[in-house]
Structure 1
Amino acid sequence: MRSVPLKVVLTAGLALGLFVLPGAASAQQALVYCPINLDRTGCDAIVTALTAGSTYPGGVGRGYDGTGGTVDLRSAELFAYTVFVVPSLADDSTSQPYGLLRDSVVVEHLRAALIGGVAVWSGTPDQGTTNRAEKDQLIQNLAHWAGASYAAAHGPGLVALLDLSENQDARYDWLRAITPTHLTSDLEVVAYDSVRALTP
């Protein structure tokens, strides 16, 4: 996957960092988008990260088209899940791993269900082996934050990682379709010489 700096503007969830906001959810499962025949690397990493510990005693499922052991997103009971996580992927001229998220039936199904928190992370913690423990912790924290309002919202939250699609204008079009959030990407390259952790 290409490494292209990208800033994503979102009013809720971007300043999450490595801390966890308190909150208990009633659902016992997480669901990860997993285009198994196109790009499952990020999906597998996220499933591994979320399976660790006891946050999801009901398990962590893979959602796609019902093949290869995945849950069919066109008919799945999405309200049984605390959070839906979309890995960092990249559409190009030969492969469109985000394609099913643009399917009209899937869009309608997800848009009706995703009423919890929304966290968009401008990075790829689901990729690579370097600093794997820290990346897994970040994935866990993002999922916890997005799903923390399940008890009040009675529906899953959403975590979306970096969209590195070849067509820059089309990045996050699938996300705009399934959430009420108007999201844009900023292609300006910005470097920081230090970072500061935010605490509640």
Structure 2
Amino acid sequence: MTGLHLSRVSPLQNVAVQGRFGSPRGAPGVSFSVRHPMSILTVIARAGQGAATANALKGYTAQWAGPDQYFVLAEGRAEGVLYADVKAALAGIASVSDQSHGRVILRISGPKARNVLAKGTPVDLHPDVFPVGKSALTQMAHVGVHLTRVGEDVFDLSVFRGFSESFWEWITSQAEEFGYQVG
């Protein structure tokens, strides 16, 4: 079939409703957004190719996801383009898997973001221990989460698509005491 174009539909499109929620006092303590659409790849270095893989990923947005493993992310790329680029760049040294339809990335930001996250993870989020750019694999509400600090009070949480709605319900309920904005 010529001209077929698949588009990524967010599983949270009818759940992450824009607006102000929780405590009405003062400015919201946190803001949530769904980073969508995103191109998301899992990269795993082949045996003995960890350094070569890390070096080849320079120039891409790559986040640590385990020993010699990374998530590579891009916004605004056409379907399959990031996968083709990274697969070619890593030919023979790493395996690449497209996770764009299988994962959802939530962004939480604001002065109370750490407080909300601390309700669900044992990861020490103090800026001296968890600086901008650091990632961790953790569990929150019995869901596996790839947590990355991307700014001063800004964190990205990547979860499997099938868990995204229940995770959204859990994390927004944790933010109610601080008030939150969905954008």
Task: State the TM-score, normalizing by the size of structure 1.
Answer: 0.23
- Structure with the greater alpha carbon radius of gyration: 2
The answer to which structure has the higher helix fraction is 1
